[in-house]
Structure 1
Amino acid sequence: MARTRVNVAALYAALDAARTTRGLSWRQLAGEVGVSPSTMTRLANGHRPDVDAFAALVQWLSLPAENFMIDPGTDVEGKPTAEPELLVQLAPLLRARSDLGEEDVRYLEEVIGAAMRRFSSDRDSPVG
Structure 2
Amino acid sequence: MAKTTIDTAALYAALDAARTQRELSWRALAKEIGVSPSLLSRIGNGLKPDTDGFATIVGWLRVPAEQFFEGVEGGATQEAPDLMVQLAPLLRADKNLNETDVEYLEQVIGATIKRARAKE
Which 4+ stretches in 1 moved above 6 angstroms?
none
Displacement of 1:72: 3.9
Count residues with an aligned counterpart. 78
Report the alpha carbon displacement of residue 3 of structure 1 after superposing the two structures with TM. Answer: 1.5
What SS does structure 1 have at the residue aligned with 2:47? coil
- Residue 58 of structure 1 pairs with residue 58 of structure 2: yes
Partner of 1:15: 15
Letter in 1 for 2:19: R
Flag the structure with more relative contact order, 1 or 2, with Cα contacts below 8 A and sequence separation at least 6: 2
Output aligned runs, 1:18-57, within 5 Å: 18-57=18-57
Aligned AA (1:79): T
Q: 1:68 to 1:74 in 2, by over 3 A?
A: farther
**Mapping of 1:1-128 within 5 angstroms?**
3-73=3-73, 79-80=77-78
Deviation at 1:54, TM superposition (A): 0.2
Percent pairwise identity: 55
8 A contact 2:3–2:72 mirrored in 1: yes
Measure the CA separation in 2 of the matches of 1:74 and 1:19.
36
CA contact (8 A) 2:3 2:71 kept: yes
RMSD between aligned residues: 2.1
Which whole-Å CA distance do the structure 2 matches of 1:74 and 1:11 have between them?
24
- Alpha-carbon distance, 1:71 to partner: 1.9
The answer to whether the 8 A contact 2:2-2:71 is kept is no
Give the 3-state SS of the residue equivalent to 1:46 in structure 2.
coil
The unaligned stretches of length 5 or more in structure 1 are 81-128
Deviations 1:105-127 (A, max 9, x none): xxxxxxxxxxxxxxxxxxxxxxx
What TM-score, normalized by structure 1, do the two folds share? 0.56
Structure with the higher strand share, 1 or 2: 2
Alpha-carbon distance in structure 1 between the residues aligned to 2:14 and 2:54: 13
Higher radius of gyration, 1 or 2: 1
